[in-house]
A and B are shown apart, each in its own frame.
Chain A
């Protein structure tokens, strides 16, 4: 679905990404981990076409990303940014409806999708509120509903990229958001999530990709990637890894 081949990226003289290889498949959740400044945001910007790589290629459906028109791409790929700058008093429902902008699926279908996407992000009760009256976490969920609406019907054709979607959310909504990411993967979408929390990553990801100083330091299942020596080397903090008492995944203690 979405592929990065030998991706390199440079800002000024600094190499931010070095030879990153990545393949995002339909139906899976891939979580990208790494320290601050490891290149996660740059990787996401390159994968979405926001930033041109200095070498290497990004392919969407085997076709170079740059050869897609903006609208074609928007029908296939939705991106949730870390934060948004909306300073106008739109109603929540109007913000979510912007997610249907690239599509021509008709008013009736759009209205159904809006309802479902708002329910999925737990913002239905806010539908008629002004966006400006919401808290940071509520705003974040409104944008989640917007990007869910954008690829709601895309199934195996779609991919969803979330940049630290849990950053300003309470515990319940952190889990709700990542459950939604899993739901979308279950419908066939390819989902990529950038996260900081190793345990949320371990619990919800099919595959982890650990970035360190612009390179892929490890890639694989949570058990393969979350190993003590590697984590201590990357994060420079002593850790212990043990089986999660409730779920079938590793638990990282630090």
Chain B
């Protein structure tokens, strides 16, 4: 079936929203820059438009890497959230809630502290990659564990998923707490950072790591859209519809772990994006993954950028950690969803 005009209009509007969020993210902050100057500074390498040197510096070295990271992470978290909900056949699955992000943070923290000795010899530009590798391993292990703990013929039950999330978050907190005893000052700062979640440490090194990891996720995940649709019917139905279920499941677990791992390694724990965004998109476009996945990427990137702008402005010149802001907005949303499902008896 061709995509109806309404759905195309919605996708187009989401694209516009993302453009708007990009301009805001470049222009707003402790130092406000007029929108036109921000755009000129962004396009100067192409157009040669004249821009004040300090504006150019702020946009190019502070706001642009931060904006790029926001796009990459927002889109990836929303995309992996949607894929995870399809894989678990449960619209409430979210990488942060079920402990995958905690697992990733634990993996990254182990690399920071324990790896400090062995990895000190590596060039600093590789640091984002070693942390991402740790986060990926942690995320992969957790996804697999949650899936094994909670799956049944009816899908993965919310209760076992959340309980697994609680257990893994507790384990992660305990081990990270343990690590603080042997960490030095620099390590301590990095550890605190995982638990709060922030785009504040944006750098082109991290952007490079994210482009590599998230790029792979963006390229491969949307190809499984039809298989994800079929999986929502149940695993044996998907098999009867010609989906190689085991292979698809393996690929989905690997890709979601890679996406979440990379996002956590670059920006720490930013929760609820993967829950809220797919839910909003389903309300607009329906659950068909062929439109859901691209729309989630657009809206996820836009919302994370807007939240980051808010985090910069609310207590300027200081800055709220982004993870705290998304949790403040996302947790009540999640509770409202839970209450609605409870009333329908669907929990």
* Chain A interfacial positions (CB closer than 8 Å to B): 48-50, 69-75, 77-79, 81, 84-91, 94-95, 97-99, 101-102, 107, 110-111, 150
B329 is an interface residue with CB less than 8 A from chain A? no
Contact flags (1/0) for B304-317 with A, using CB distance below 8 Å? 00000000000000
Asked if A85 and B89 sit within 8 Å, CB to CB, the answer is yes
Bound CA span A91–B244, Å:
25
Contact of A94 with B288 at beta-carbon distance under 8 Å, contacts A74-B241, A88-B282, A102-B242 already known:
yes
Query: Are A50 and B287 CB-contacts (below 8 A) given A74-B241, A85-B154, A102-B241?
Result: no
- Nearest CB in chain A: distance from B113 CB, A: 41
Which secondary structure dominates chain A's binding surface?
Answer: mixed
Q: Which residues of A contact B226 (CB under 8 A)?
A: 101
**Main SS of the interface on chain B?**
loop
What are the 3 A-B residue pairs with the smallest beta carbon separation, nearest first?
A74-B242, A102-B242, A71-B242
B233 within 8 Å of A by Cβ?
A: yes
22 contacts between A and B (CB under 8 A): A48-B240, A50-B236, A50-B239, A70-B239, A70-B243, A70-B244, A72-B242, A73-B242, A74-B240, A74-B241, A74-B242, A78-B240, A79-B237, A81-B234, A88-B232, A88-B287, A90-B232, A90-B286, A98-B229, A98-B241, A102-B242, A107-B2
Do B287 and A79 touch (CB < 8 A)?
A: no
Task: Determine which of B89, B234, B288 lies in contact with A90 in the assembled complex, contact meaning CB atoms within 8 Å.
Answer: B288
Q: Which residues of B contact A (CB under 8 A)?
A: 1-2, 89-91, 153-155, 226, 229-230, 232-234, 236-237, 239-245, 282, 286-288, 346
For the complex formed, measure the closest distance between the CB of A99 and the CB atoms of chain B, giving whole angstroms. 7
Tell me the minimal C-beta distance from A93 to chain B in angstroms: 8
Closest to B86 in A: A88
- Report whether B244 and A89 are in contact in the complex, using a CB–CB cutoff of 8 Å: no
For B287, give the chain A residue with the smallest CB separation: A88
Are A101 and B232 touching (Cβ within 8 A)?
Answer: no
Across-interface contacts of B237 in A (CB, < 8 A)? 79, 81, 84
A114: nearest chain-B partner, CB-CB: B1
CB neighbours (8 Å) of A107 from chain B are: 1-2
Question: Is B282 touching A89 in the complex (CB atoms < 8 A)?
Answer: yes
State the CA gap A71–B242 with chains docked (Å): 4
Q: What residue in chain A is nearest B155 (Cβ atoms)?
A: A85
Alpha-carbon separation in the docked complex, A70 to B248 (Å)? 12
Q: Is the CB of A101 within 8 A of B233?
A: no
CA distance A110 to B1 in the complex (A): 8
Would B233 and A79 count as touching, CB distance under 8 A?
no
Residues of A within 8 A of B288 (CB): 90, 94
Question: Which residue of the partner chain A has the closest CB to B248?
Answer: A70
Complex: A88 Cα to B240 Cα, angstroms: 19
